A and B are shown apart, each in its own frame.
Chain A
């Protein structure tokens, strides 16, 4: 990994280029970088020429193969989904969890189990609505607090900033739920030669992600249609509906997805990861099947944990049909290809892939 740069470079190369994902990895590790909602800023460069912030960021040079090695002990053979041990469909056994959560409720069920069984002491995850439509990252100690965290959100919050705060307080048995950029940053932190509390994260559940919205743009847009304090839930029903449904106390509002897409964060267009390739376990929806999740077990630690969870009867699983798997691979590959294209367009240089350091095989596949 190329290190050796500092906050001034982070500001110039990432924040200044609208490449920040708001993952929060660089926040709360020093007094210079702050986040409010999904806005991250270097308040004043610290003056050091080399620092953690630059090292941790998922949009500073990231060598995919090297990260594979550090997380999985080997490089990948599947170039669309990343390393994995198994792929299935899963759902929470508890029907109550299932109906509160969107789709299969697997994440809520697994986190609840992990906390109750003492696999982890704290869960760091996102609560979708924290007033005015902005999600909030929270640290949860007891499983009943998880209830509020069910549901999807379409604006990213700086989960790793919250995690940094927790590890600074000495918390060292953490389970983290994050989107791909957050998971990637977390793995960079764990692999870093810098001292970091990220090693205290024992379980990483990654979500699938295709894009996130910028809070400012989207909320200003939505504000014109509804009083934000009335928003209760946001959902995107499966295709071909092509709408976003905003449930409010004054009734539902349906927004055309084409309109909503205008507020996608620019950094999402250069994102190379749809399925949280560096997580212990990745979870996402299955197109066309309500109530079930796609479920990728990637690391031995993840496998070990899932085995216990299955034994404890927390989740049901069943095989993912071949056509659906192919479909998933295709979707992931399309995202990668688009990302590489977008990057090349940005840099105007076929060889300059910004933050991405790809192996020769990957280059062959996606360039």
Chain B
């Protein structure tokens, strides 16, 4: 079957044998976007988190057929070195990653949280950021999430001033 969606700003149509194929594998193996990771395949770790219509989704457990007509963002589309997303900038400022494998999933989960809740409290962070990091980078991530909220606010301020 053919499925069409927008991913990182580009319209794509993919041909899949089985519409129940997890979106993760279409993103990684068909579209060759390797930033979205496989950790468990059971929606239990969050390594595969990406955005579907702005919501954080665990793509290992999201059938590609449901992506029809939707807008998807992966870590590759979140920001670039030239124009980093506030979350990525904060992650760099706080030197968060260790092995790095879980990090795209956490950044995507954080970006989705900040969209809804631009200034999350520690409790909001605890309740919403529930991915697993084996290297134990949570301490720096929490700092980076608060920092990203600040950067996000600054960015909005300057956008308002510029308009």
Chain A bound to chain B: no
